[in-house]
Amino acid sequence: MAKMEVKTSLLDNMIGVGDMVLLEPLNEETVINNLKKRFDHSEIYTYIGSVVISVNPYRSLPIYSPEKVEDYRNRNFYELSPHIFALSDEAYRSLRDQDKDQCILITGESGAGKTEASKLVMSYVAAVCGKGAEVNQVKEQLLQSNPVLEAFGNAKTVRNDNSSRFGKYMDIEFDFKGDPLGGVISNYLLEKSRVVKQPRGERNFHVFYQLLSGGSEELLNKLKLERDFSRYNYLSLDSAKVNGVDDAANFRTVRNAMQIVGFMDHEAESVLEVVAAVLKLGNIEFKPESRVNGLDESKIKDKNELKEICELTGIDQSVLERAFSFRTVEAKQEKVSTTLNVAQAYYARDALAKNLYSRLFSWLVNRINESIKAQTKVRKKVMGVLDIYGFEIFEDNSFEQFIINYCNEKLQQIFIELTVKEEQEEYIREGIEWTHIEYFNNAIICDLIENNTNGILAMLDEECLRPGTVTDETFLEKLNQVCATHQHFESRMSKCSRFLNDTSLPHSCFRIQHYAGKVLYQVEGFVDKNNDLLYRDLSQAMWKASHALIKSLFPEGNPAKINLKRPPTAGSQFKASVATLMKNLQTKNPNYIRCIKPNDKKAAHIFNEGLVCHQIRYLGLLENVRVRRAGYAFRQAYEPCLERYKMLCKQTWPHWKGPARAGVEVLFNELEIPVEEYSFGRSKIFIRNPRTLFKLEDLRKQRLEDLATLIQKIYRGWKCRTHFLLMRKSQIVIAAWYRRYAQQKRYQQIKSSALVIQSYIRGWKARKILQELKHQKRCQEAATTIAAYWHGTQARRELKRLKEEARRKHAVAVIWAYWLGLKVRREYRKFFRANAGKKIYEFTLQRIMQKYFLEMKNKVPSLSPIDKNWPSRPYLFLDSTHKELKRIFHLWRCKKYRDQFTDQQKLIYEEKLEASELFKDKKALYPSSVGQPFQGPYLEINKNPKYKKLKDAIEEKIIIAEVVNKINRANGKSTNRIFLLTNNNLLLADQKSGQIKSEVPLVDVTKVSMSSQNDGFFAIHLKEGSEAASKGDFLFSSDHLIEMATKLYRTTLSQTKQKLNIEISDEFLVQFRQDKVCVKFIQGNQKNGSVPTCKRKNNRLLEVAVP
Ligand SMILES: Nc1ncnc2c1ncn2[C@@H]1O[C@H](COP(=O)(O)OP(=O)(O)O)[C@@H](O)[C@H]1O
Ligand SMILES: [Mg+2]
């Protein structure tokens, strides 16, 4: 099976040519036209072999989306239309898979899109390389280093609102898997003159504006700054605001980026302090002051600013002030101080500002490097991205342009070296004979500039170091002598008179024929700029600062490390750094992006051919193409080549069975392509002329059209045939179905007709049988009916006869019985009548009585004397018997009950009986006493030792011993007394001491009085004239009144044989000494609750209130 994968090619849908190697004919005009055509179709990228040319669109194009990243990911370089992503992908994959370090060289003039291109490369690599938290942090730090460097190193220029004012080379380091580990940034040649002066329409570095617009009030106060740009001499005012740029927002972005990159808060603060100091330096102004000796001397106009700078940086004010007024020159042993005039003072001030800023910038780069450097020591793969100025050809070209162009010259050199080398290597690899390539080698120009003995830079250094008066003119003179014969050096004043009459070459200039064109350099300022002088007094003053960062920026100010040797010149420094860069680049696989600016207006859609032509020239693009095409213009691996063109030859179409190379050979033979037009390499076919390729492409296009027609034809035929086949198949199916349906229908009809006929015949037959059966049935029924009638008649006749017979028999029996009865009655009538009734009556009565007694036997109630139950009377005539029986039974059971008593019990009951006789229904207190047993001696005098004396005094048996209330006769109040009753006496004793108070013989007691009510009061009346009666009668109250009265009564009766008089009355008289007092009981006056109270009302009345 052939591969189904769709192989696209750069050659598909090409606008102009995607690869300018294929341009035919090749000249400046065709190159420009091709670029323009593509630019107009928004194709901003074009290849020269593997070099990408990028034309700045000045508008955002939808070609950098994540989808695009996916499109270009892992695709071959020539597979899709030219794109910076294709180059990035190629570089990244070569790094990852083939372990080749890469460098991406981006050149072009200011505003051509270099920085953007470098960011695109970085973002593409970031998008396709590994993922994960750690990797993402590294990526983020690498990407965030850009805003920081741009704030400090970029500025608005007339060409570019965000122009990088330094060259930058960044190494991104990867591990073996292709995950980023970190990076190293090198910076080249910051345009520090911008700090103190900017051309019209341009600005100082962004950071100054960002700080003033975006810094908080608090921050500005701390830095002693004001928000107003116009306060600062170093800020150009006419273009302080840039359209579409929000400095304040950018300031926040930069602060944020610094944080992400890893700047500590205090570091960021120190950096801003240095920025503030530089800004304020510009405001220091000097005025002349004449000295007596005629020497000019300068003086600081307003020391306020100086003071603030010193506060900010921690420098002693006097030290800095002196450094601005004097210059100390130290030679071997001597130290000479000279005063500075106003111009020199300004020079010193600006030099300090420039140095401070450029050193700060270098410090920033180092600091970022510290943060982003790879953390591991494992072997790293490196991708370098170089974003550096391209060739600069201005009207006035000075030292800077010279240096920049030198750098580009060097870049071109390694480009040539590497391209040619690569080309050569490829030829060897592919086994193709090496043909010499004609191209211009610019090594000779490099030599003119950098040669150590007579190069221009060496001359300049020599001049700068030479004692005596040194000026730019003397330097030019020297050049005129030394370089006069050099082919690429031109000067009016050179010994060689070639240019004597060349008016385009002013006297104060020299011209160099760079590989990209001739450039005229103004010699003025070369010496100064190369010297890059900062007076030692100033660097020492800076070193003395207490501001740690500033101090560290000026290590040469340390007097201990004084170095009389001059610091290296700017030129030699740059030369050295370029040399290291070149060395570095040479070890890597180069990838080129050459940026072109289509117009000077930063506008979209405008393609200024003149401007582009100029750039093409100095970028040496034609040279590029030529070098690339020197041998063979086009090469392609056999497989894709065969795949692309196999339709051009019968043998190879549609499938080639053998190896691809043989297929291509067959193909090319068949097409009769001249042999000198191509060569077979090991894995690639090399085509010498683009013409051949285009011929192939044309043929392919033609053939593709034919093929399309063929495919169309076959497809249509196939479509019609399949349609027809489908119709035929459908027709057969439909016919079959229809036939089946028709047959079914007919069969159904026949079937139903047969059924009808059948049913008719069956019906007729059935009816015939039915008729016959019905006839038979009727005959049978008739016979049965007749038989039934006959039997019926027979049976009824028999029944009638039997009934008649039974009636006769019954009649005979009745008559017989009557006859017999009559006979018997007639015989016995004489035995009945007399005595029968009386006997029956007696018998019945006897039976009833018997039954009554038997029943009573079973119904007798319990033997308890208090049981009131008695069965009800059954017959009225037994009423008296029944009552008598009840009485007898009760008496009998009482007797039974009494028979069980002991003597003691008998005594108790006798007493109780006595009490009942005495008080029942007379005294209201009585019923409550019935349940109380009579205990007599409540107080156990024998046992209580307190009453021992009392006990000893009494010899008789004690019947009652109880505490009673003795009512005081004077006031009705009561006192407790022990009440003792013996066989013959009544005694009262003190309750506490037991001492006998009074003793009354029973014979002297005449009467006991009490109320009829529910109280315990009683009076004991004594015999008048007896010894005891002298004190009067006693009035007591006791809880056991009934018991006491009963016992007193019984004892008196048994001892004196006299009945004691017990009076029950609610009003009685008591003898108190001489007086008789009436004791009166009143009921219902319940003042004191349920206790009866006694009160003496007057002499004659004592009132007892009973509840
Ligand atoms: N590929 C691009 N797509 C859109 N605009 C671009 C592109 N490249 C450059 N630009 C525009 O051109 C301006 C200058 O580009 P820049 O890369 O800063 O130039 P250089 O670094 O070469 O001086 C950018 O600010 C941007 O507006
Ligand atoms: Mg730039």
The CB of 108 under 6 Å from ligand 1? The reply is: yes
Q: Are 1017 and 1037 in contact (CB under 8 A)?
A: yes
DSSP assignment letter at 188: E
The CB of 52 under 6 Å from ligand 1? The reply is: no
Distance 115 CA to ligand 2 centre (A): 4
For residue 834, what pLDDT is reported?
Answer: 55
For residue 1037, what pLDDT is reported?
Answer: 87
> Residues 789-798, buried b or exposed e (16+ Cβ, 10 A)?
eeeeeeeeee
The CB of 404 under 6 Å from ligand 1? The reply is: no
Distance 186 CA to ligand 1 centre (A): 21
For residue 379, what pLDDT is reported?
Answer: 86
Residue with tokens 């100095």: 618
Question: In this structure, what is the dihedral angle of CA atoms 581, 584, 590, 594, given to the nearest 10 degrees?
Answer: -10
Q: pTM value?
A: 0.63
The shares of helix, strand and coil residues in the chain, as percent rounded to the nearest 5, are 50, 15, 30
Q: Which two tokens stand for residue 521?
A: 């350099």
Does an H or E element contain 921, and which? Answer: none
- Rg of the Cα trace of the chain? 76
Which residue's CA is minimally distant from atom 27 of ligand 1? 58
Rounded to an integer, what distance in angstroms lies between the CA atom of residue 206 and that of residue 149?
10
The CB of 242 under 6 Å from ligand 1? The reply is: no
Q: Which CA distances in Å does 763 have to 750, 751, 777, 1087? A: 20, 18, 21, 126
pLDDT means per 10 residues, the chain with 1107 residues, are 50 84 88 95 92 94 94 83 93 89 90 93 91 89 94 91 92 92 92 90 94 95 94 86 90 96 94 96 90 77 92 92 86 79 92 95 96 88 90 84 90 80 80 72 90 91 86 90 87 71 84 87 90 86 93 88 77 92 90 92 93 84 77 81 86 86 89 86 85 83 88 93 95 95 95 94 94 94 93 93 93 92 82 67 88 87 84 85 90 87 84 86 84 81 78 81 82 83 86 83 87 87 80 85 87 85 87 80 68 78 81
Distance 206 CA to ligand 2 centre (A): 13
Distance 112 CA to ligand 1 centre (A): 6
The CB of 114 under 6 Å from ligand 1? The reply is: yes
CA-114 nearest atom, ligand 1: 22
DSSP assignment letter at 8: P
Rounded to an integer, what distance in angstroms lies between the CA atom of residue 929 and that of residue 45?
139
Which residue's CA is minimally distant from atom 24 of ligand 1? 113
Beta bridge partners of 1075: 1072
Q: How many CB atoms lie within 10 A of CB 17?
A: 21
Residues with Cβ within 8 Å of residue 291, at least 6 apart in sequence: 297, 339
The pLDDT tens digits for 236-254 are 887 788 888 899 999 999 9
Which residue's CA is minimally distant from atom 15 of ligand 1? 113
Q: Which long-range contacts (CB under 8 A, 24 or more apart) does 297-300 make?
A: 297/325, 297/339, 297/340, 297/341, 298/324, 298/325, 298/339, 298/340, 298/341, 298/342, 298/344, 298/345, 299/325, 300/324
The CB of 115 under 6 Å from ligand 1? The reply is: yes
* Nearest residue to 429 via CA among 689, 673, 635: 635
Ligand 1 pocket test target in 39, 44, 58 with most atoms within 8 Å of CB: 58
Q: Are 82 and 54 in contact (CB under 8 A)?
A: no
The catalytic residues are 110-111, 115, 160, 163-164, 390, 392
Distance 79 CA to ligand 1 centre (A): 26
The CB of 56 under 6 Å from ligand 1? The reply is: yes
Which residue's CA is minimally distant from atom 11 of ligand 1? 58
Q: DSSP for 246-286, please give it.
A: -HHHHHHHHHHHHHHHT--HHHHHHHHHHHHHHHHHTT--E
CA-84 nearest atom, ligand 1: 1
CA-161 nearest atom, ligand 1: 25
* Nearest residue to 382 via CA among 112, 184, 600, 617: 184
Which residue's CA is minimally distant from atom 25 of ligand 1? 162
Distance 1075 CA to ligand 2 centre (A): 151
The CB of 160 under 6 Å from ligand 1? The reply is: yes
Ligand 1 pocket test target in 39, 56, 599 with most atoms within 8 Å of CB: 56
Backbone angles phi, psi at 291, to 5 degrees: -100, 165
Residue with tokens 């015939």: 768
DSSP assignment letter at 937: B
For residue 836, what pLDDT is reported?
Answer: 65
The CB of 58 under 6 Å from ligand 1? The reply is: yes
Q: How many CB atoms lie within 10 A of CB 104?
A: 27
Rounded to an integer, what distance in angstroms lies between the CA atom of residue 32 and that of residue 608?
10
Ligand 1 pocket test target in 120, 160, 169 with most atoms within 8 Å of CB: 160
